[in-house]
């Protein structure tokens, strides 16, 4: 290999997982030695440092995506630049990035970048891939804009120990709600109750979901279901709702694993109990980052808001397997894969 060459590994979609959870056979990692790219005006050449592992990556497996590179959120370091906004040596917080060791990013790829200068250096950079990144903004904005939480109400959060769930629970607690969560291991359930101050939590894998949720909600009834799963758990929530209950559907975890999506038989409760069911996606709301950081960063720094994250060390060849383990719930909190130090 000469000085003008690099070794680059890239992850491709080898097969589309149709109706099943993705497995190793759906990914292919290819490593090549290649010449450093010639940059066009406005482009940059970056070394990727950390990838945020997010369930939505499953959407990359859309029909027709076979042989495409897998795309996710990540941090990079600029090695060469023909763009005045990005300087060699600086890192930046970036929206989307292919799963590879190095990438060339053209002006049209740089739409959702956040320069590192605008973030708080007292917080670990990895937090900006999770609780202070797009995931945190999603929770903060969907709760403020859609959920309409009122003091004294009861909220139930599915996948409560995940990246979004843990922040949703703490914001709801701070607003004076009674907070119930579910997660897939006893360790996560204990974390919700003992560390995050949830009023009740249960293991949705080992307990009967209807019985456990009904017992946790009790005679007070349910007011808000913060839905990160989009399966038929919503049917239980509809039965337990008080009048004017709200379902805020933000996640699709059941779908990411090829599972059946919500099709509640008791949807008539929408009318009978005057329930509002609203979906939310963050992509139209990135202009809210500054407001979100202003309010939430001090709460993270003071320790009032807690979060757990799992930063896994590895290389591009480990991303697919780490992602699959993440989808199975093998890690605690926000999960990212770090290739090298920042
Ligand atoms: N609307 C938006 O703009 C937006 C933005 C960001 C994320 N999201 C979505 O929000 C959802 C949550 O994201 P996240 O990053 O916080 O993920 P996460 O909860 O950290 O996701 C991983 C966890 O999900 C749990 N899980 C997996 N399958 C499940 C199922 N069928 N039912 C219940 N739990 C399941 C597993 O934990 P257990 O051990 O508990 O099973 C796993 O550890 C995802 O669907 C994501 O795509 C939406």
Residue 60 shares a structural domain with residue 190: no
> Mean per-residue pLDDT for 288-304?
94
pLDDT at 257 over 80: no
CATH of the domain at 237: 3.40.50.720
Q: What's the gap in Å between 174 CA and the centre of ligand 1?
A: 22
Ligand 1, CB cutoff 6 Å, lining residues: 54-56, 135, 138, 158-159, 161-165, 183-185, 188, 228-229, 250-254, 256-257, 259, 280-282, 329
Q: What's the gap in Å between 329 CA and the centre of ligand 1?
A: 9
8 A C-beta contact, residue 78 and residue 89: yes
Residue 141 shares a structural domain with residue 180: yes
8 A C-beta contact, residue 52 and residue 133: yes
pLDDT in tens, 143-153: 999 999 999 99
Alpha-carbon span 279 to 261, nearest angstrom: 14
Residue 37 shares a structural domain with residue 138: no
CATH of the domain at 326: 3.90.180.10
pLDDT in tens, 75-133: 888 999 999 888 887 777 677 889 999 999 998 888 767 666 667 878 888 888 889 98
Q: What's the gap in Å between 38 CA and the centre of ligand 1?
A: 39
Strands (E), the chain: 5-13, 27-35, 44-52, 71-81, 91-98, 102-105, 113-115, 154-157, 178-183, 200-203, 222-227, 241-249, 276-279, 309-313, 334-338
> Mean per-residue pLDDT for 282-306?
93
Residue 12 shares a structural domain with residue 114: yes
| Residue nearest atom 1 of ligand 1, based on CA coordinates | 281
Q: What pLDDT shows up at residue 65?
A: 75
How many domains, the chain?
A: 2
Whether residue 290 lies inside any domain: the answer is no
Residue 249 shares a structural domain with residue 143: yes
Residue 278 shares a structural domain with residue 147: yes
Whether residue 176 lies inside any domain: the answer is yes
Ligand 1 test: best mutation among 253, 254, 258, most atoms within 8 Å of CB? 253
Which residue do the tokens 């897998």 mark? Answer: 70
Tokens of 137: 């903004």
pLDDT in tens, 199-256: 999 999 999 999 999 999 999 999 999 999 999 999 999 999 999 999 999 999 998 7
Whether residue 295 lies inside any domain: the answer is no
Residue 83 shares a structural domain with residue 199: no
For residue 113, what are the β-bridge partners? 94
| Residue nearest atom 34 of ligand 1, based on CA coordinates | 159
> Mean per-residue pLDDT for 9-29?
88
Tokens of 101: 């060791």
Q: Which atom of ligand 1 is nearest to the CA of 329?
A: 43
> Mean per-residue pLDDT for 168-193?
97
Residue 105 shares a structural domain with residue 202: no
Q: What's the gap in Å between 310 CA and the centre of ligand 1?
A: 15
Domain carrying residue 240 = 134-283
Residue 267 shares a structural domain with residue 315: no
Phi, psi of 222 (to 5 degrees): -105, 140
| Residue nearest atom 8 of ligand 1, based on CA coordinates | 251
Which residue do the tokens 């997982």 mark? Answer: 17
Whether residue 261 lies inside any domain: the answer is yes
Residue 252 shares a structural domain with residue 139: yes
Residue 247 shares a structural domain with residue 150: yes
Whether residue 334 lies inside any domain: the answer is yes
């Amino acid at each position: 290999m000469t000085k003008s060459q690099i070794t680059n590994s890239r992850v491709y979609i080898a097969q589309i997982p149709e109706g099943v959870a993705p497995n190793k056979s759906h990914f292919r990692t290819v490593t090549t030695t290649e010449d450093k790219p010639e940059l066009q005006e406005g482009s940059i050449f970056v070394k990727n440092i950390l990838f945020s592992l997010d369930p939505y990556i499953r959407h990359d497996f859309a029909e027709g995506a076979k042989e495409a590179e897998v795309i996710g959120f990540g941090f990079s370091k600029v090695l060469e630049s023909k763009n005045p906004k990005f300087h060699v040596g600086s890192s930046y917080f970036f929206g989307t990035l292919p799963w590879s060791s190095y990438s060339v990013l053209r002006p049209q790829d740089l739409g959702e970048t956040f320069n590192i200068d605008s973030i708080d250096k007292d917080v670990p950079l990895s937090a900006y891939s999770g609780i202070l990144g797009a995931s945190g903004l999603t929770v903060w904005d969907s709760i403020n804009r859609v959920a309409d939480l009122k003091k004294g109400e009861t909220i139930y959060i599915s996948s409560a120990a995940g990246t979004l769930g843990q922040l949703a629970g703490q914001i709801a607690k701070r607003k004076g709600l009674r907070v119930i969560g579910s997660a897939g291991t006893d360790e996560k359930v204990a974390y919700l109750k003992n560390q995050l101050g949830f009023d009740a939590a249960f293991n949705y894998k080992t307990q009967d979901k209807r019985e456990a949720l009904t017992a946790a909600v009790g005679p007070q009834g349910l007011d808000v279901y913060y839905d990160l799963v989009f399966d038929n758990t919503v049917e239980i929530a509809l039965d337990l709702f008080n009048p004017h209950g709200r379902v805020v559907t933000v996640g699709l975890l059941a779908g990411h694993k090829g599972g059946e999506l919500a099709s509640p038989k008791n949807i008539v409760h929408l009318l009978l109990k005057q329930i509002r069911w609203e979906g939310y996606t963050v992509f139209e709301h990135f202009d809210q980052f500054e407001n979100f950081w202003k309010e939430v960063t001090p709460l993270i720094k003071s320790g009032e808001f807690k979060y757990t994250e799992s930063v896994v060390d590895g290389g591009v060849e480990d991303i697919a397997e780490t992602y699959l383990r993440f989808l199975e719930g093998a890690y605690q909190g926000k999960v990212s894969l770090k290739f090298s130090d920042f």
